[in-house]
Amino acid sequence: MLVVDDEPNHCEIAKRCLEDSYDIEIAYGGEEAISKIYNFNPTVVLLDIKMPRLTGDELVKMIKAWKPEIQVIMVSANLSPEIKEECMQNGAFACISKPLNFEHLKQTIQEALNQSSNRGPHSPHSVQSA
């Protein structure tokens, strides 16, 4: 799983809360995320919407065009119905508001993994640990 957020604290909190269940890589921006996707090949990307330069709403379109099998979960502190609708139209699997409820997030990640496994083989980096 890849966590993409320009706020290092958000990345570190997400990593601590999820690393017991998933292999986690972190990217601190859209450009770094592209490199991590290429090298790490995650099944799920947790993607902040509002980032400088390459934004999450631009990056989700790129990910879905390049690797449509990746499930993208978008997160935002300012998630309006309009933003959520746009993200879903751009190919996001789900949109979640910050601050994150990690139990809800884990459930959403599992749903994304299930969806991904229904579409084809998934990366060993994102298989849930027993």
Per-residue pLDDT of 28-82, as tens digits, reads 999 999 999 999 999 999 999 999 999 999 999 999 999 999 999 999 998 899 9
Surface-to-core class of residue 3, CB atoms within 10 Å of its CB (0-12 exposed, 13-18 middle, 19+ buried)? buried
- State both tokens at 4: 């993409």
pLDDT for 119: 62
Q: What is the distance between the alpha carbons of residues 57 and 88, in angstroms, rounded to a whole number? A: 10
- Spell out the domains of the chain, with CATH numbers in brackets: 2-117 (3.40.50.2300)
Going by DSSP bridges, is the β-strand pair 94-97/71-76 parallel, antiparallel, or unpaired? parallel
Per-residue pLDDT of 79-129, as tens digits, reads 899 999 999 999 999 999 999 999 999 999 999 999 888 764 444 343 333
SS3 of residue 39 by DSSP: helix
